[in-house]
Amino acid sequence: MACVLLVLGLGGATAHEVPFRLHAPGARKVFVCGSFSHWQCLALQRGRSGVFRRRVAVAPGLYEYGFRVDGRWRLNRRAPRVADGFGGHDDLLTVGR
Secondary structure of 40-81 in HEC code, one letter for each residue: CCEECEECHHHEEEEEEEECCEEEEEEEEECCEEECCCCCCE
Over residues 61-95, the pLDDT tens digits come to: 999 999 999 999 999 888 999 999 999 999 999 99
At residue 48, the pLDDT reads 86
Q: Give a yes or no: residue 6 inside a domain.
A: no
Tell me, yes or no, if the pTM score tops 0.75: yes
For the domain that residue 69 is a member of, what is the CATH number?
Answer: 2.60.40.10
Q: Domain range for residue 82?
A: 22-52+61-95
Over residues 1-43, the pLDDT tens digits come to: 333 333 333 445 688 999 999 999 999 999 999 999 999 999 9
What is the number of structural domains in the chain? 1
62, 27 in Cβ contact below 8 A?
no
How big is the CA angle at 10 (ends 85 and 56), to the nearest 5 degrees?
60
At residue 14, the pLDDT reads 85
Smallest Cα–Cα separation from 51: which of 83, 19, 9? Answer: 19
Q: Give a yes or no: residue 42 inside a domain.
A: yes
